[in-house]
Amino acid sequence: MSNFLILFALLTSVQLSAKIVRGCQTWGFFAEFFWVLNYLDDCHRRNITPCVHWNEKFAYFDKNRKDTNNCWEYFFEPLSKERFEIGDEISVEKLYNNDFSCIWSYQQYIENLNLLSSNDEITLINFEPFSSPFYEVYPAKDFHLYEKVFRSKVYNLINRYVILKPKLICKINRLYNKLIKNQKVIGIHLRGGFLYNEVPEVSIDMIIDRASREYDNETLFFIATDQEPLLEKFRTKLGPRVLFYDFKRYEKSSAPTFSAQLTPEDAENLIIETFLLSKCSHMIHTISNVSTMALYLNPSMPHSLMY
């Protein structure tokens, strides 16, 4: 082999093994998580060992936590043996490939609905046209996030890299056995208002009406929401048919803002509810990263989108 080819091989090897540390900003939990998935897809394509370090910018950061300074490890096992070291550059680049992005603008969800087929088992319930004031199209646009084929891609990516902490797995399994297993359960995600009016808000009354009309009296409803008033409204209307994971909820949305610091427990509760949603036989939802994550976790789950 010539000296040139040897040098080229060495340089290529160095490039392939380079460390790129994925960081975070102050977005919601699954927005951060989806950017990590895009990063993992990119690492897989480029044969790069992944390393994620969520620092004090993370919306659920706990300054009193002593066991780790990496918020990713509050919830997940490390992705590899690579670790963030002082001096490493942390990337928050918006990574995506033309055929893969787990995260979209909400308007793009709506504009690409025509790409879905009957095989994707989605029921669309549209109330009004809308043009988002926060419009950004990511290059991955020739498919829909709700397509079963794409959801399976994401599911496989998650299974390849992401492992929940054992305590979360145990809690999810216990609640699944208690609430959902061997029952006909429809999952409903209630997100309430949107912080920036990205898409129109679907009223809770409309969602309740849809749920009560479409399903018989034997059907149970697992309600996932961070807002106590929304849960109570469902319980008032549907009574004992409502199932829920019992934790401290907020009066208004717990979505991160620059003026409110959430806790790791808030994120844990979100993860648990989302995994439980994914184990239901059908899901009714509006557009949100939470419902999209539930669909990624269960690529075959049929669902109804209200928008």
Structural domain boundaries in the chain: 3-91, 106-306
The pLDDT score that the predictor gives to residue 46 is: 93
Question: What are the structure tokens assigned to 290, written together?
Answer: 């939470």
Collapse the DSSP code of 140 into the 3-class scheme (helix H, G, I; strand E, B; otherwise coil) and give the result: coil
Gap between the Cα atoms of 150 and 142, Å rounded: 11
Contact between 138 and 93 (Cβ < 8 Å) = no
Gap between the Cα atoms of 137 and 154, Å rounded: 20
Gap between the Cα atoms of 191 and 29, Å rounded: 14
The pLDDT score that the predictor gives to residue 135 is: 58
pLDDT per residue as tens, the chain (307 positions): 554 444 434 444 444 457 899 999 999 999 999 999 999 999 999 999 999 999 999 999 999 999 999 999 999 999 999 999 998 999 999 888 888 999 988 888 888 999 999 999 999 998 776 666 555 666 667 899 999 999 999 999 999 999 999 999 999 999 999 999 999 999 999 986 655 566 667 888 999 998 888 888 889 999 999 999 999 999 999 999 999 999 999 887 766 654 467 999 999 999 999 999 999 999 999 999 999 999 999 999 999 999 8
3-state secondary structure 195-264: CCCCCCCCCHHHHHHHHHHHCCCCCEEEEECCEHHHHHHHHHHHHHHEECCCCCCECCCCCCECCECCCH
Gap between the Cα atoms of 105 and 113, Å rounded: 13
**Phi and psi for 201 in degrees, rounded to 5?**
-80, 130
- DSSP H helices, 76-227, are 106-111, 148-161, 166-179, 204-214
pTM for the whole structure: 0.90
- Give 281: exposed, middle or buried? Use CB within 10 Å, 0-12, 13-18, 19+: middle
The pLDDT score that the predictor gives to residue 203 is: 86
Locus of tokens 């309600």:
223
Collapse the DSSP code of 47 into the 3-class scheme (helix H, G, I; strand E, B; otherwise coil) and give the result: coil
Fold of 106-306: Rossmann fold (3.40.50)
Gap between the Cα atoms of 129 and 113, Å rounded: 13
